[in-house]
Structures are given as structure tokens and as C-alpha cells.
Structure 1
Amino acid sequence: MSPARPPVTAFGPDFPFPYDDWISHPAGLGRVPPEKLGTEVAVVGAGIAGLVAAYELLRMGLRPVVYESSRLGGRLRSQPFEGADGIVAELGGMRFPRSSTAFHHYVDLLGLRTEPFPNPLTPAAPSTVIDLHGRTYYGRTLADLPPFFTEVADAWASALEEGAGFEALQEAIRNRDTATLQRLWHELVPLWDDRTFYDFVSASKAFAGLTYRHREAFGQVGFGTGGWDSDFPNSMLEILRVVTTACDEDQLLVTGGVEQVPQGLWRRAPEHPAHWPAGTSLSSLHGGGTRPGVARIHRVDPDTIRVTDVHGVERDYGAVLTTCQSWLLTTQIRTDESLFSQELWMALDRTRYMQSTKTFVMVDRPFWRDTDPATGRDVLSMTLTDRLTRSTYLFDHGDDRPGVICLSYSWMSDSLKMLPYPVEKRVDLALRALRKIYPDVDIASHIIGDPITMTWESDPHSLGAFKGALPGHYRYNRRMYCHFVQDDLPSAERGIFMAGDDVSWTPAWAEGAVQTALNAVWGIAHHLGGSCAPENPGPGDRFAELAPPALPD
């Protein structure tokens, strides 16, 4: 029997460092000098990036001091429905690719369960309805749909092979063949950085041989996880990263809510931490709660950065990690301009965030599994449509427990349509749209409890769902991503670090937040005089070998 192919993981392609191997190595992530043990390090933001970094810094024997202006977990936010044990609405991140091996390291560390996410046309979705141009199509797999949809999926696969050498890229990622991956990816960076996703699709031979309706359907309802049109203005490089690292397929949800991951890291006492007694956790170091939000960050001497919280309390640190969205460093936190170069400020300020809205209801039972006696079909299905709702997801917790319907998951201009309205109006609009697809199904009669909604662009601590890089933004992204390696920076710009999915190459994915958090852990330890074990070098130790290519200015 031939050996199984290695899986696709989030290995590169911009910086092909094996984060999963690094964090699971028995030698650990590194050590700081004995005199630095117990040193306080400020961590601004208690999302997944902040808490992964804080947890690993604690393991090293440092004392992370975590600041949070909103709520622990950031955009991994699982909002419980009142009165229902363990039934949640995933307001931020909700589907986590199996390829996100660094993120799943922490899921497994906490003993959390995962299960397949009910994406359309996957076994986890009992059935799928595509409603396009007023016509409805029903199926359980792509093969059940008219050939038109197979033509769309095949054209996309052909376009990827034609324009990016997709199979060879993925094979290099599977085999962790760094030399081949770098050679292939470095050729694609200047080719696709300044061209849009839509340009890639429309200019491909695969789609050129089809009709406009094929491209339109790809944008409206797509394949697998849904339509792609909200990403059409983005740089094609961003889309290539998503598909080559399999972020768009084989996705999982965290049973009971993904917020358990940041909450678990906050409360978990690492085994055998340096310096700290057994049983020490981030929670115990903080007396149970994070510090308040940050109002100001400024340097007071060459080795000290002062953080002032919203109540005016000042504390001085030798190193500071910011994990908040980059715009907050100018709009919410007064940050000394001298802490970053003007080129880096340009990158931070030009970061472009995408809008997103979700609206959820809890229902008395998973009634969508009922069979329509007239058609023999499920009465309600996972739904992709060009109507206002765009995507509707169904979450089944068993026959004897309430179910959850994400009535609408929308992006960009579709999200802005919801922005002014309260939750009741949003539910009404969604139900009206779904009634046109399912005229004989009374969804409202099954709703129990209060609905839950979230629009991320209206959240003052987020200002958007996540980054969506525009054409020409590769240089900006590189400046942000590579900032954790600071030996060549002026002394006035050292000691402050950044992490988060908007600093990563893969915005919107928790894996990117985790990887940049681990970069920052290496950077902080290095800044304080620490080092990695020779048998387990960190991302900064291999930076010269693996660094993303630099495009000319």
C-alpha cells in the first residue's frame, strides 16, 4: 500500500516556517536570562493573538500584563443564548481549517472538541439550496446540481492551475519543500500583488471560455464555503494564500464555542513553567481580570516604554506587544509616532478592513431535518443566495436541544445595508428574504429566545471584521509582518511588537493571529536577551533563510 500523502497545512507560502513543529518541540520555545525572569511585558489586547503570546511568555518565565478594552477573546466571540446551556452564536471566527495546525495545537492542548463545519455541499450540511436569479437548486453534493455549477467549480480549479501553478504549490506545502515553495511563490508575488481577484478570474482562459453568468455565479454563491464577490477587489495574492494552504476547505467548528480557546488559555496553568510556581496562570497573575484598555503608549527612555490605561494608571515596560487592530494605534490609543518608522505607519494606516454582519436566532429544534412530503427534500437547507441574506447556516445540537440558524452572514456593501438597523429589523429582513426561497416554511414559529447580531465595523474596538489587502499592499504587509525582527531597527523603534491576523499574511484566519503571536514571542525573548534551544530554532533565527521577498519601492 502506498504511503498517505502529507496533509496541506498553513506552511507559508510567504514565510515557510514550521510553527506547529516549533511549539510542540520538547525543548520549548526558548529561555530568557535568569535576571530577566519575572520581567513584566505589556500585551495590549486579549484576543487569540494576545493570549497565545501571553501564555507562551508566561511559560518562559516572563510576566505578561494583559490589557483589554472590550472583552476577553476579541473576535473569537461566542455569545450564549439566554437560558440555553452551551448554545452559542459565533459572532466572529466560526470555522477553522484543519490545515491551521498551530491554532489547533492550542485547541488540543485545552482538550476541546471539534466537529466538521456545516459548509454547503459537504457531508456536515444535510442538504444545500442555491438560490440564484430567482431559481432554486437543491442538492447534497455538487453532482446533484445542474452542470452549470460544476462548470463554475471546474473553471476555478483550472484558473488556479493556469495562473498560479496550484498543484505544484500545494505539493511543495504538503512536503514542506521550502526551496521549491520559495521559488514558486517568489515568482508569483510580483505577478499578482497589484492585480485583483476579479482580474485573475475574468482574465483566465478557463472563465473566458464561459459566460458572464458563470463569473457572476462564482461571485454570488461560489462553491464550498460560498460566494467570493466581496473579495473581488482584493489582491489576488491574498486569495492564493487562502486556497494553497487549504483555508477554504475541510473546516471545523469548536464544539460549545470557539471563545473557549482564549478563555482556556487565560485560565490554564502551564506545566513546568520557568520561574513561576506550579498552578500559575494568566488569570492568577492578574488577580482574575485583565488590565483596562490602553489610552497611550510612549517611550520614556531608551529601554522603557510607558503604557497608560484609560484610568490614567501608568506602568513601564521593557517590551510591549500590541495585538489590537492597527487603526486603533491612531484612533483609540495615543501612540508616539517615533515608536514606528514612517514607512511602517503608512502600512498601518493603509490597512483596509472589511465589513461583516451576522444575525442568529435560536429555534426550538433542528426542524430543517423534517422531510417535505411533497418533494421528499429537507424543509430547510444550508442556503447560498444572491438575496439579502447571502449565506444561511444551520447548527444542529441534537433532537432534544435547541438549534441555531445564522439567518444571514454578509460582507461589505451587504453588511452596510444592515448597519443602521436593530436586531429585530435585521431578523425581519432575513425572514422575508428566506420566505421567497421557502414559501411554505414558517421559520418564525420555531424561534425561541432573543436574536443575536453583530456588525464588526460598528464595534469601536474593532472597526471592521478583518483586513482585506488591496492590490499593491504586499509591501505594506511585509513591513508589518517582518517587524518582529528588530536587530537592524533604530533603537528608538525597538521593544514594541505587533501581532494579530491583520499583521499576518492570512487575515480573517485564527492561524495567522497565532503565527504572528509566536513571532512576537520570539522577538520579545530575543529583545530581552533570550534565545531558542539550538535544536529548536525560532522564526527569527531562520528569518534570513525564509524571509518573504522584498519588492522594490
Structure 2
Amino acid sequence: MSEFSAFGPDFPFAYDDWLANPAGLGQVPAARHGAAVAIVGAGAAGVIAGHELMKLGLRPVLYESGAFGGRLRSEPFEGTEDVIAELGGMRFPVSSRGFYHYVDLLGCESAPFPNPLTEAAGSTVIDLEGETLFARTLDDLPELYREVARAYDAALEEGARFSDLRAAMAARDAARVKEIWDPLVAAWDERTFYDFVTTSGAFRQLGFRHREVFGQVGFGTGGWDSDFPNSMLEILRVNLCALDDNQRYIVGGVENVLHRLWRQPADCAHWGRMTLAGLNGGATRSRVTRIARDAGGAIAVTDRWGRVDLYDAVLVTCQSHLLTTSIETDEELFDQKLWMALDRTRYMQAAKTFVMVDRPFWHDIDPATGRPVMSMTLTDRITRGTYFFDNGRDRPGVICLSYSWMTDALKVLPHDAEKRVELALSALGRIYPGVDIASHIRGNPICVSWETDENFLGAFKGALPGHYRYNHRMYGHFMQETLPAAQRGIFLAGDGISWTPAWVEGAVQTALNAVWGILTHFGGACDPANPGPGDLYPTLGPVALD
């Protein structure tokens, strides 16, 4: 396991230690055992929170409007069981210690993700402005690419004291993390990622071509120009938490993690040996259409078929815009400043196009070059990123023909799956002339554009400059002691509430924050030997900007 973890930097709390402590997460008074808690959304945040609340002796009732798993969506190709397209999360850095707690608990297998210039990819092709380069490591590329890599490392040192901060996070020195990080919040909240790059001393000494290459090829997983308008704090967190390093995929599909957790027996207060599926009668409730305060003070949740149930606590894990577009939500449940934050949350677009092929033919050697006929590909063409997944020499393989964001994702938005494949094959044909990809395709392609899904309206949050205060309001909402009674009992979780959107670890951590909040709401508390996130939040919580 990597020494690095998503320990902060905004709230340096060791969630993995809290989960692993034999004292457990806490206790709910026996008089509240069996109390029902509504959970809106059966994605990572909802299922993980439900599992932990069940162990505390509460009864989580899960509602789901679409597919179980949320954006951990693994879709099998027709006629197969384990040849899958990862439509949502597909890369899971080992620094995501909270997430891997559940991966290990469930015995799920992981393997290195075939990112560019990694051993798992084998080889990488970079195609920019019509120039095609083949490489196995960074050293195989022209000096310009190494200059770009060194410039970004230097920019991080200059603008964010990167080595000092990462060392403090690795050592889990919370006080030191806050000492270095908190001033950076004020310095970079209102400045963009592109501003960070262009104003750094290292990049100022280089030309536009270096910045262009950085945007197209980037670092770690590929080009980051889609994030250039985002707040630099968003990118700093990715780097500091090693979220773009040492990534793995879940063999057989990451959605299996949630399906297994749904059926995973656990020793529970009140329930004895129980599963989350068992407490829910084997199935989730349907879509939530209304959330409102009942005359008696409970929170009434109405589902698609008109069933109304009353709860003392509700956990909302869906994307925030659904609270104003799909769910009729009582405005009095949230402060107007929090509504501002929820409504101003900006989601990014993303599109993926997958095909199943007869075999992993990309390993075939071109006799003219002695190289594989195809490689993991980064390009400025419409495909942007192309990845290969090998399920065995004589088994069908999978190609993610295109993974793109923002403007590049919008280019294919009107098109059906077959047209998207045609566009991708045309682009790749210019990079690999003579390679007949189409002849290897089997079955139907699988595509996704998250912004067209009424249950998501976008792929993941991308905070703009000035959004720190909004994120702080959403993230800290689980601390409800000072809230008026009318606003207590409804909690928020999900990667969009976290400081690290697009990464499952953010969903895990905010789910655990909500577990602490609900535990406290029902009069429970953590063992003094294992204080929870809310116990340490007053001293270690995110810095407040005026």
C-alpha cells in the first residue's frame, strides 16, 4: 500500500483508521435501535453509509431512481458475464484507503490500470498535431515532454510547497497539514488551474507549445486541459492525495463492490447477523419524488408510486441539482446559503465509447516496426484517450475507444452509439493506418454521456474559482449542532459534496461523515478511543474564508 493517502488536506482525518479500529464507529442508544433512516441513492455513498448505519442498529431504507451502483456502473457486453464496460469510475488510486477498506473486506480483486506510460499499458502512443510518437516510458519521448513534466513539478513546489505538504500528509501530521494548506486556500481559491500553470516561474521560461502539450498530455492519466478553468485547489487536492498515481481497476467490474456490500453479512447491534439487502427486503425502493417536513416534525419521503414514509433522519446522496429539478424538496430543510451552494455546483460533462473485440489483437506485432499494432493512445483528435483491456489471450477484449470531457464530450452528444464508434474509428485510423479495428468488433457498442442522464445531469463536480465557500457549506453540513431544528436530520453525502469530486474516495469519506452525523442525531456517540470525524472537526475542520 502506498504511503500516500487522501488524508486531507482540507480536513486531515484518518477515515481508514476510524474504520479499522476495533472499538467500532460508535453506539446508538438502545431505545433508538431499529429506527429507520432513508437513504436517497444506491451509489457508493448510499450503500456504504447504509452498511455502517445497519451495524449501528439503525434500519437504512435505500431509494434508487435508476441503476443500483450510481456512477460505479459496470455494464456487461451482450452474451457475457464478466466482459464489461466501466461507464463511471474505472480508476482507483491506492491512496483511496477508505474505499479499499471495503474492497479488501469483500475480497474483490484489483489490478494495475493501463494508464499512459505505465507497465500495465505496455506501450503508449501520443499523437498531437499529426505527429505520432511511440513510447514505453517518459524517457522514450522527446526532451520537450520531460521539460513539461519537470516544469509542473517545479510549479507545484513554487506555488504549493508540494513536498512539504505531501510529507505532512504521509506522516499524518494534521497540525502540519493545516499549517501549510490553510494559507493556500485563500491564495488559490479564486485562481484557475491555467493561471497556476502560466504564472509559475518554470512555465514562464517555456513557450506556449509546452503549455499546450501539458494540456493535451498532462500528467498521470493524460491531458488536463478540460480542467484549466477549474479552481486550482481542485487540482492541488488530486496531486496531494496521489489520486492520479498508482491507479488500479476492479477485476470483473467495480459495481460488484457495491453489490457484494449490499449482500455482505455483518455483526450488527440490534439486528444480529444481518445484510443490507435483508433489511431492505432484497430490493431498493423506487425514485424519490418529494422530501418535506411532516407536521409532527419527522421528514416525509414520497416515492414514485405515492408511498409516503416518515423518518427521523434522511441521507441524500444524489447529485445536488436533483433537489431542484427532480425531487420536490421543502426549501425550509436547508438554509438559503446552502441552497446557493447546492444550486451553484457546477458539473462537468464526460463521454465514453466502448466496444468488445474478439481478442486482444493490439498485442500483435507489426513486422515493419517490431512494435504492437496499437497502444494506449493520447491524442488531440476527437477520441482524446483510448484504453485497452485484456481479459486473456483467447477471450474477448474491450477497447475504450474514446474517453473525453467537456467540449470534446459535447461533440458526440447528439450522436448514437454506432455513430460515435464510426467517429472514433475514423480518428484512430489516421493514427494507425492499416489496422482494421472494425473487423474485430463483436456485439453492440456501449456508450455513456452522463449529462443526458436525468438522474445525474453531469459526470462529476468541477469547482470553479470562488467556489470554496460553497463546498465548505456542503461538506460541513453534517455538523448540525448549531442548526435550527427545522434544518436538522437531513444529511448530504457523495463525491459532489466532497473536496475530491470524480473520485470514489470523496463519496466514501462524506458517507462516513454522514454516518457520524446520523449517529449523533440519534443520541449516539463514538468510543473515546476512536473519535469520529465530527469529534475532531472543530479543531481540524476546513479553514473558513471571510
TM-score by length of 2: 0.99
Moved more, 351-360 or 440-449: 440-449
1:395 to 389, 393, 416: 389
The equivalent of 1:251 in structure 2 is 247
2:349 pairs with 1:355: yes
Equivalent-residue separation in structure 1 for 2:220 and 2:119 (angstroms): 11
2:66 to 65, 70, 81: 70
The equivalent of 1:136 in structure 2 is 132
The equivalent of 2:287 in structure 1 is 293
| Letter in structure 1 aligned against 2:386 | T
Cα displacement (A) at 1:6 = 7.2
Equivalent-residue separation in structure 2 for 1:162 and 1:302 (angstroms): 57
Cα displacement (A) at 1:261 = 1.1
2:256 to 242, 257, 260: 260
SS at match of 1:115: strand
Equivalent-residue separation in structure 2 for 1:420 and 1:263 (angstroms): 32
Q: Which runs of 4+ in 1 moved over 4 A?
A: none
TM-score by length of 1: 0.98
| Letter in structure 2 aligned against 1:139 | A
2:106 to 103, 107, 110: 110
Cα displacement (A) at 1:283 = 1.0
| Letter in structure 1 aligned against 2:181 | W
Q: Pairwise mapping of residues 6-155 of structure 1 onto structure 2 (< 5 A)?
A: 7-155=3-151
Equivalent-residue separation in structure 1 for 2:544 and 2:16 (angstroms): 25
| Letter in structure 1 aligned against 2:527 | A
2:270 pairs with 1:275: yes
Equivalent-residue separation in structure 1 for 2:506 and 2:235 (angstroms): 14
Equivalent-residue separation in structure 1 for 2:216 and 2:510 (angstroms): 32
Equivalent-residue separation in structure 1 for 2:180 and 2:390 (angstroms): 42
2:497 pairs with 1:503: yes
The equivalent of 2:523 in structure 1 is 529
Equivalent-residue separation in structure 1 for 2:369 and 2:62 (angstroms): 56
The equivalent of 1:316 in structure 2 is 310
2:465 pairs with 1:471: yes
Question: 1:293-345: per-residue Cα shift (whole Å, max 9, x none)?
Answer: 10000001464100001111000000000000000001000000000000000
Cα displacement (A) at 1:224 = 2.2
Question: 1:370-412: per-residue Cα shift (whole Å, max 9, x none)?
Answer: 1111011110000000000000000011102111000000000
The equivalent of 1:514 in structure 2 is 508
Q: Is the 8 A contact 1:68 1:292 kept in 2?
A: yes
Equivalent-residue separation in structure 2 for 1:85 and 1:449 (angstroms): 14
Q: Is the 8 A contact 1:500 1:513 kept in 2?
A: yes
Q: Pairwise mapping of residues 196-211 of structure 1 onto structure 2 (< 5 A)?
A: 196-211=192-207
Equivalent-residue separation in structure 2 for 1:329 and 1:528 (angstroms): 25
Equivalent-residue separation in structure 1 for 2:296 and 2:49 (angstroms): 24
Moved more, 86-95 or 213-222: 213-222
The equivalent of 2:445 in structure 1 is 451
CA RMSD of aligned residues (A): 0.9
2:321 pairs with 1:327: yes
SS at match of 2:332: helix
Change (3 A) 1:220 1:6: closer
Equivalent-residue separation in structure 1 for 2:296 and 2:389 (angstroms): 53
Cα displacement (A) at 1:286 = 1.5
Equivalent-residue separation in structure 1 for 2:150 and 2:379 (angstroms): 20
Equivalent-residue separation in structure 2 for 1:461 and 1:140 (angstroms): 40
2:415 pairs with 1:421: yes
Q: Is the 8 A contact 2:2 2:94 kept in 1?
A: no
Equivalent-residue separation in structure 2 for 1:245 and 1:230 (angstroms): 20
Q: Is the 8 A contact 1:6 1:175 kept in 2?
A: no
| Letter in structure 2 aligned against 1:230 | S
Equivalent-residue separation in structure 2 for 1:16 and 1:261 (angstroms): 26
SS at match of 1:360: strand
Q: Is the 8 A contact 1:505 1:512 kept in 2?
A: yes
SS at match of 1:74: coil
Cα displacement (A) at 1:193 = 0.1
| Letter in structure 2 aligned against 1:191 | A
SS at match of 1:253: strand
The equivalent of 1:307 in structure 2 is 301
2:456 to 443, 448, 462: 462
| Letter in structure 2 aligned against 1:294 | V
Q: Is the 8 A contact 1:368 1:379 kept in 2?
A: yes
Equivalent-residue separation in structure 1 for 2:492 and 2:296 (angstroms): 19
Equivalent-residue separation in structure 1 for 2:446 and 2:368 (angstroms): 33
- Unaligned 5+ segments in structure 1 are none
SS at match of 2:294: strand
Q: Is the 8 A contact 2:2 2:95 kept in 1?
A: no
Question: 1:511-533: per-residue Cα shift (whole Å, max 9, x none)?
Answer: 00000000000000100100111
Equivalent-residue separation in structure 2 for 1:340 and 1:302 (angstroms): 18
| Letter in structure 2 aligned against 1:277 | G
Cα displacement (A) at 1:545 = 1.1
| Letter in structure 1 aligned against 2:346 | R
Equivalent-residue separation in structure 2 for 1:82 and 1:257 (angstroms): 15
Equivalent-residue separation in structure 2 for 1:486 and 1:286 (angstroms): 27
| Letter in structure 2 aligned against 1:376 | G
Equivalent-residue separation in structure 2 for 1:80 and 1:116 (angstroms): 20
Change (3 A) 1:448 1:6: closer
The equivalent of 1:193 in structure 2 is 189
Q: Is the 8 A contact 1:361 1:451 kept in 2?
A: yes
Question: 1:469-527: per-residue Cα shift (whole Å, max 9, x none)?
Answer: 00000000000000000001111110000000000000000000000000000000100
2:156 pairs with 1:160: yes
Residue identity (%): 65
Q: Is the 8 A contact 1:6 1:174 kept in 2?
A: no
Q: How many residues align?
A: 546
Question: 1:204-245: per-residue Cα shift (whole Å, max 9, x none)?
Answer: 111111110110111112132000000000000000000001
Q: Is the 8 A contact 1:467 1:502 kept in 2?
A: yes
| Letter in structure 2 aligned against 1:259 | E
| Letter in structure 2 aligned against 1:521 | V
SS at match of 1:65: strand
SS at match of 1:454: strand
SS at match of 1:540: helix
Question: 1:236-294: per-residue Cα shift (whole Å, max 9, x none)?
Answer: 00000000010011001000000011111111111x2111132x211111211100010
Q: Is the 8 A contact 1:122 1:224 kept in 2?
A: no
- Unaligned 5+ segments in structure 2 are none
Q: Is the 8 A contact 1:30 1:531 kept in 2?
A: yes
